[in-house]
Amino acid sequence: MSSYNIGIDTGGTYTDAVIIDTSDNTVVASAKSITTRGDLSIGVIASLDKTLRAAGAKVSHSDIKLVSLSTTLATNALVEGKGSAVAVVLVGFDDKMLAKSELGTALPTAQIIRIAGGHKYDGTEQNALDTSALIAALDGCQGQVDAYAVASVYSVRNDSHERKVQELIREYTGCPVTASCELSEALNGPRRALTAAFNARIISLIVSLVDSVRKVMADQSINAPLMIVKGDGSIASADLIVERPIETILSGPAASVIGANFLSGLKDFIISDIGGTTTDV
């Protein structure tokens, strides 16, 4: 029985699609369309439709077993300062930790909420969690914020305060909330806070892209798993990536490296990925 995989790459300028025959890893068909930034689905639909038409009767849609998506969307969004309005809740952070996070420089428009709480290095409670201050701050953010990030002192040793804040924000606002402990096990609280803030900012963009691709797949009667290429070249389910879009940073260049390795057979090489927004070496 024939089996095919589809690869889609949404870059800053072009959206490319390719169909691979998994029996011999040959390219069956490929196509390119202009990336439509206002509505990514337009470019995805166009490139996939062109590719499927180029393949013709050779490829039955029921034989497509996997759809893989690589994208520079997250990278470009951070470079260009795009994404949702974000509030960052810092639990137990003092002035020094806030300064080390560089949130004010990296995300100058983000609202910073600091409340008492957090834990010590051994996981014991540093201060009681001030949920009243949190609710008061959330009231002040209504209508101004579309996504939240939460970072608590030593949450990788005890995440109870961070999880509680995450739960309260979801219940109170209905907005997506990124907890820093979900993204990193590193003890560096300020760095985790910045990572969580970036993740929260780009969630809506990745959700829109994934929804676009899934709509195209449904319209084309393609019933296959949708996987997303991560920045380390591995792939993860779309359901995971819509919660952790920060993991797709450098997804496009990572796919280029894998492709160059496959096509050249070389183990050591230098590759330049020249896109419409960034150039990566």
> What secondary structure letter does DSSP report for 72?
S
Is 90 exceeded by the pLDDT of residue 177?
A: yes
What mean pLDDT value characterizes the chain? 90
Rounded to an integer, what is the distance from CA 36 to the centroid of its chain? Answer: 19
Q: What is the pLDDT of residue 1?
A: 66
Number of domains in the chain: 2
**Residues 186, 92 within the same domain:** yes
Question: What CATH number has the domain bearing residue 70?
Answer: 3.30.420.40
Q: What angle do CA 18, 11, 269 make, to 5 degrees?
A: 75
State the sign of the Cα–Cα–Cα–Cα dihedral 276, 278, 279, 281: negative
Residue 118: pLDDT band with limits 50, 70, 90: very high
Which tens digits make up the pLDDT trace of 221-241? 899 999 998 888 888 999 999
Question: What CATH number has the domain bearing residue 89?
Answer: 3.40.50
Is 70 exceeded by the pLDDT of residue 252?
A: yes
Of 62-76, 108-122, 142-156, 179-193, the one with minimum mean pLDDT is: 62-76
**Residues 74, 112 within the same domain:** no
Question: At which of 159, 174, 201 does a domain end?
Answer: 201
**Residues 98, 197 within the same domain:** yes
Is 70 exceeded by the pLDDT of residue 87?
A: yes
State the sign of the Cα–Cα–Cα–Cα dihedral 91, 92, 94, 96: negative
**Residues 141, 60 within the same domain:** no
**Residues 114, 169 within the same domain:** yes
Distance CA 255, CA 232 (A): 9
Question: At which of 164, 181, 201 does a domain end?
Answer: 201
**Residues 196, 233 within the same domain:** no
Distance CA 73, CA 86 (A): 18
**Residues 94, 197 within the same domain:** yes
Structural domain for 234, as ranges? 4-78+206-280
